[in-house]
Amino acid sequence: MADPEPSYLSRFFSSQFSRLPYPTQCFKDEVILVTGGNSGLGHEAARHFVRLQAAKVILAVRESQKGEQAKLSIEASTKVQGVVEVWPLDLEDVRSVQSLAAKASSLPRLDVVVANASISTSKWSLVGDVERTIQVNVLSTFLLILALLPKMQEQDMEGRIRARPRVVVVSSEGHETTAFAEQNAPRIFDALRDQKQANMDERYDTSKLIQLYLVRALAERLSQSDKPPVTLNAVSPGLCKTRLRRETPLVAQLLTSPVMAMLARNAEDGSRTLVHAAAADHGETNGKYLRDCKVTE
């Protein structure tokens, strides 16, 4: 008989205390875009990409001033100038997503997209006619990915051999914990914007589960396409000390602070999982879920 699957909690604790390899992969000559690159995991991943010889690292951020501060921090620590750029991106605004995609069309190439930006909030609100968490974490994130795919699939004009482009969606182990009651509704997205039935305590985890469904579905479609292949995967960085909890009520933050202090990885440790998932492969991770720098269920 096969060994039983470890429980969620045992896997979580084992994961949090696992040692993650320091990134050494080469990103020489590659153009990389990181959403939410001004802080936390995105910022530290961008720092690694610059250190690992990327030609251009774009920080796609909501607040340009914070993006510029992040750029200065990366340049100071890596001693590399002229690689980091700051581009505006507001995932609550579809027009902002479209504007960034249009700007990216003028890039000479685009090798890696790290879809890192997300929100976690217990407050229900609408952006247009969509609940805000779903708009930011799901709809705008995948609108951006779809809009950038044509640029990523362009052939090298100079005939050079390029590594297969990669898209990394930053997910969460929390996707395992959501009941996702809305999946039984006749129209799922209608149910997700209904305030009366919204369970906002699990909405972030629900959004991460929907992300995984979309990663698997889109990766399958891409693998069947006659266009140049792109690797699309999802990665869980584990519980990390970042600003993701900034919209969590203060009381809840205080109650969970001892757990964060004891168990949470720092942002640099967590960012290693993003860099690993973004590294060149031959499609081995396409449509896959990665945890602790390994493909897992």
Q: Is 217 left (phi over 0), alpha (psi -120 to 50) or beta?
A: alpha
Is 8 catalytic? The answer is no
| Strand 84-88, strand 231-236: pairing | unpaired
Interatomic CA distance for residues 136 and 232, integer angstroms: 19
Which structure tokens are listed for 219? 């990766």
Asked if 174 and 241 count as a contact pair (C-beta separation under 8 A), the reply is no
Indicate the burial class of 193 (C-beta count within 10 angstroms; 0-12, 13-18, 19 or more): buried
Per the CB < 8 A criterion, the answer to whether 171 and 232 are in contact is no
Question: How far, rounded to the nearest angstrom, does the alpha carbon of residue 266 sit from its chain's CA centroid?
Answer: 17
Active site residue 103: no
- The Cα–Cα gap between 263 and 270 comes to 12
What amino acid occupies position 79?
K
Answer yes or no: are the C-beta atoms of 100 and 60 closer than 8 Å. Answer: yes
Among 171, 207, 236, 271, the one annotated catalytic = 171
- Looking at 56, 71, 151, 208, which residue is catalytic? 208
Among 204, 207, 236, 289, the active-site one is 204
Look up 122 and say whether it is catalytic.
no
Q: According to DSSP H, which parts of the chain are helical? A: 8-16, 40-51, 64-78, 94-104, 132-134, 141-152, 188-192, 203-224, 250-263, 267-278
List residues with catalytic annotation: 171, 204, 208
